[in-house]
Amino acid sequence: MDKLNTYRNIVRSILKEYLNIQYANADIRNRAAFDIETDEYLIISEGWSEKQHLHSCLIHIEIINGQVWIQCDNTEEGVASVLVEAGIPKSDIILGFKEPLIRQYTGFAVG
């Protein structure tokens, strides 16, 4: 399997695990939005906390030019480390949510 398909499979597999998160203080569920044609992968959290509707992005990942760009990461542990454990090298992961000048200090690719 080529690198792009390997990365796609890893990203989808990892993100699917976030669909089963249970929230103790609100009626929220996570939903997946995967677009293989544009290589965009999102986990959206949606639901209610008392009388307030909640809708936010938990994780947003794009695969651009063979690199995995994490555009949004609102997880506690950080999805980047999970992707590394799954086999994607740090040299192919870019923390897109970090300021470009700061990325060189993250231990991941700079983009």
What are 50's two structure tokens? 């008392």
> Whole-model pTM?
0.92
Tens-digit pLDDT profile for residues 46-86: 999 889 999 999 999 999 999 999 999 999 999 999 999 99
Closest CA to 39 of 16, 5, 89, 86: 5
Burial class of residue 89 in the structure, from the number of CB atoms within 10 Å of its CB (0-12 exposed, 13-18 middle, 19+ buried): exposed
What are 53's two structure tokens? 């509707």
- Amino acid present at 3: K
Q: Could you please state the CATH topology (level 3) that the domain comprising 3-105 is classified under.
A: TATA-Binding Protein (3.30.310)
What are 41's two structure tokens? 């992968």
What are 85's two structure tokens? 């454990």
Tens-digit pLDDT profile for residues 18-49: 999 888 888 999 999 999 999 999 999 999 98
Enumerate residues 6+ apart whose C-beta is below 8 A from 91.
108, 109
